[in-house]
Amino acid sequence: MSKAIVSKLYDSDVFRMACRQFDKAADAINLSEDLRDRTKYPRRCMAVALPVRRDNGTTVVFEGYRVQHSLSTGPSKGGIRFHQDVTLGEVAALAMWMSWKCSLVGLPFGGAKGGVIVDPFNLSRGELERLSRRFMQEMVSFLSPRVDIAAPDMGTNEQVMAWMMDTYSNHVGHVEPAIVTGKPISLGGSEGRREATGRGVAYLVKAYLDDLKIPIREATVAIQGFGNVGSETALALAEYGARIIALSDHTAAFHRPQGIDPRKAAAYVRYNRVLHDFDGGDAITNDQLLELPCTVLVPAAVERVITEVNAPRLRCRVLAEAANGPTTNAADRVLDARGDIEVIPDVLCNAGGVIVSYFEWLQNLQNYYWTRDEVLTKLYAILDRSKASVESQLRKLKFSRRLAALTLGIERVAKAKEQRGLFP
Ligand code: NAD
């Protein structure tokens, strides 16, 4: 009964994909039937209408969501996405992945996610501010530093977090930086948070290349998506000595076998918002980018871009999932059968973001701030530990790396639920 109601609410390709991943992992570790649905389905969700005054005086109503997947091990934690394709099911899937990710890397958080159906590129700065503030206003009774903490995701950034933090603080009557992470440093943001996800991706890519005995200076990299995660991944990998041969965003994609300077691309995007008309190399399509011969392929944009159609044609050695959910279940089966591509699964690969968000929340609660070196050293230590536990699970149980990571994450959440018992 509850199963049917829940699946209807969230039903979508991406939610079904997250559920199938869960089912496979639950089967692999023989998770008891009693715990399965409790662990799998989101705890609760909120849908809100967001009336916003446009610059031309008219009013438009956007729809927004927040899904809190699990609150069994601490407050829930997750980003807020502004994108035209957002659905409640997508937000629920992303919240579910956040639970496994936080659990895998040992953070005292459950998973959450939020989203608004809007193309932020079509909003003026004033409209974006009014939408961000209205979203937080509607969520005031649903979020708190001890219940659910927000962060940036696709289409949102430090400035959006600043408006949300200001709105919440005005509501409660005192400054409450711990309500969101990914804030500007002047408002209690953490050193190293802006680059944390991309640096974490790059750090893990280097670690896996080391395992494969591929010198990073000989590695070529293609990256889809050039926002916060894609650009910071490119900058960090280039710093390690890798050659970035392709970049893209939703407006353009470029290929240059001799290498593209990611600093130039980042400077271009800072000024022009998007890569359109950037002089980066030969124009290609986003689909072509994914199939380029390269050492490392980094999807860093939307879900479900590696499919059963292009998976047989991928020509990378390492697939580093900086985006959440970039690989469909059918593509996963193809990659498992191929066996020649090392997949760094999303729940491990992009965990640097939530790890440093955790550090930011801790610093806010303690009012004691760390240096960038302290932040990055602690980040890398957690990534090393998490990678080691995934590799040990993979060896012990002969799982794929995704299954190894998911089973570790899911097992810890399920165990916490079991030990707490079922109320009432
Ligand atoms: P962002 O909004 O800063 O950047 C998104 C980028 O993807 C932009 O360059 C955009 O143009 C591009 N893009 C959008 N649709 C595209 C498409 N169809 N094809 C090609 N490019 C497209 O977002 P972000 O924060 O960098 O997030 C990117 C991914 O990383 C998302 O999957 C997000 O959930 C995940 N992620 C983000 C963080 C974080 O800290 N921001 C942490 C973990 C995971």
Residue of 91, 158, 161, 250 best suited for mutating to test ligand 1, as the one with most atoms within 8 Å of CB: 250
Arithmetic mean of pLDDT, 238-264? 98
Residue identifier of the C-alpha nearest atom 13 of ligand 1: 250
C-alpha 195 to ligand 1 mean position (Å): 13
pLDDT at 2: 45
Nearest CA to ligand 1 atom 19: 250
Average pLDDT over residues 287-315: 98
**Intra-chain end-to-end CA distance of the chain, in Å:** 19
pLDDT at 4 over 50: no
Ligand 1 atom showing the smallest separation from residue 229 Cα: 26
Which residue has the least CA distance to atom 40 on ligand 1? 353
Q: What is the pLDDT of residue 145?
A: 98
The answer to whether the beta carbons of residues 137 and 165 sit under 8 Å apart is no
pLDDT tens readout for residues 363-414: 999 999 999 999 999 999 999 999 999 999 999 999 999 999 999 999 999 9
pLDDT attached to residue 6: 63
Cα 299 to ligand 1 centroid, rounded to whole Å: 9
pTM for the predicted model, two decimal places = 0.97
368 C-alpha vs ligand 1 centroid, how far in Å?
Answer: 30
Dump pLDDT digits (tens) for 58-93.
999 999 999 999 999 999 999 999 999 999 999 999
Q: Which residue has the tokens 């710093």?
A: 239
Nearest to 26 by CA among 387, 419, 406: 406
Contact 243, 313 (CB under 8 A): no
User: Across residues 204-233, what is the average pLDDT?
Assistant: 98
Nearest CA to ligand 1 atom 16: 250
Distance 326 CA to ligand 1 centre (A): 11
Task: Give the per-residue pLDDT at 89.
Answer: 98
Task: Ligand 1, residue 253: give the atom nearest the CA.
Answer: 20
Which of the four pLDDT bands, split at 50, 70 and 90, describes residue 1?
very low
Which pLDDT belongs to residue 252? 97
Ligand 1 mutation target, pool 83, 86, 226, 229, most atoms within 8 A of CB? 229
Q: What is the pLDDT of residue 8?
A: 86
- Residue 387 C-alpha to ligand 1 middle, in angstroms? 23
Counting atoms of ligand 1 from 1, which one is nearest the CA of 357? Answer: 40
Total length of the chain: 424
What Cα–Cα distance (Å) separates residue 243 from each residue in 6, 266, 351, 388?
46, 15, 23, 27
Mark out the alpha helices in 105-212 (DSSP H runs): 125-139, 158-172, 193-211
Tell how far the Cα of 39 is from the centroid of ligand 1, in angstroms. Answer: 27
- CA–centroid distance, 140 to ligand 1, in Å, is 26
Tell me the average pLDDT across 258-264: 98
Tokens 């979020």 belong to which residue? 143
Query: Ligand 1, atom 18: nearest CA belongs to which residue?
Result: 250
* Residue 3 scores a pLDDT above 60: no
**Tens digits of residue pLDDT in 142-181:** 999 999 999 999 999 999 999 999 999 999 999 999 999 9
Ligand 1 pocket (Cβ < 6 Å) reads 152-155, 197, 224-230, 248-250, 286, 300-302, 322-324, 350, 353
Question: Candidates 197, 268, 272: which one to mutate for ligand 1, based on the most atoms within 8 Å of Cβ?
Answer: 197
User: What's the rounded mean pLDDT across residues 191-213?
Assistant: 98
Backbone phi, psi, residue 390, to 5°: -65, -45
The number of C-alpha atoms within 13 Å of 68 and in the hemisphere containing its C-beta is 20
Atom of ligand 1 nearest to the CA of 156: 2
Is residue 5 predicted with pLDDT exceeding 80? Answer: no
Q: Which atom of ligand 1 is nearest to the CA of 324?
A: 32
Q: Which helix (H) or strand (E) holds 376?
A: helix 372-397
Alpha helices by DSSP H, listed for 273-345, are 286-290, 329-338
Six-digit token pair at 233? 């991944």
Residue 280: its pLDDT value, please? 87
Q: By alpha-carbon position, which residue is closest to atom 3 of ligand 1?
A: 227
Pairing of strands 318-320, 296-299: parallel
Ligand 1 centre distance from Cα of residue 84 (Å): 13
Q: Using alpha carbons, list the distances in angstroms from residue 310 to 224, 257, 304.
A: 14, 21, 11
**Active-site residues: which are they?**
113
Give every CB contact of residue 61 below 8 A, 6+ residues apart in sequence. Answer: 49, 50, 51, 52
**Cβ atoms of 356 and 192 closer than 8 Å:** yes
- pLDDT band, very low/low/confident/very high, at 312 (cuts 50, 70, 90): very high
Out of 116, 194, 228, 304, mutate this one to test ligand 1's pocket (max ligand atoms within 8 Å of CB): namely 228
